[in-house]
Amino acid sequence: AQALEMVKEIDHPTCGQIKITGIPIKLSLTPGEIKIPPPTLGEHTEEILTQILGYTKLEVEKLKQAKVI
């Protein structure tokens, strides 16, 4: 796993040093790279609820108050 770089250690802005899955496909002319760290739990919840699922900001606030999200 180390030789193939299947597990990479990166700096996460809130979690510090973390291990993540590396890029599984290795191409010699166009190697992939990890450019940004993974999101934290719930980081995009509000965006998904409002922009994709159509919830209103009021509905999202109610979910927050009820500690659903």
Task: Give the single-character DSSP code of 8.
Answer: E
What does the pLDDT read at residue 2?
Answer: 64
What does the pLDDT read at residue 49?
Answer: 98
- pLDDT tens string 29-69: 988 888 899 999 999 999 999 999 999 999 999 999 999 99
pTM: 0.64
Helices (H), 1-69: 45-47, 57-65
pLDDT at residue 1 above 70? no
Position 6: which residue type? M
pLDDT category, 11, cuts 50, 70, 90?
A: very high
Spatial separation of the C-alpha atoms in residues 48 and 45, rounded to whole Å: 5
What does the pLDDT read at residue 65?
Answer: 97
Torsion sign (Cα): 38, 41, 44, 48: positive
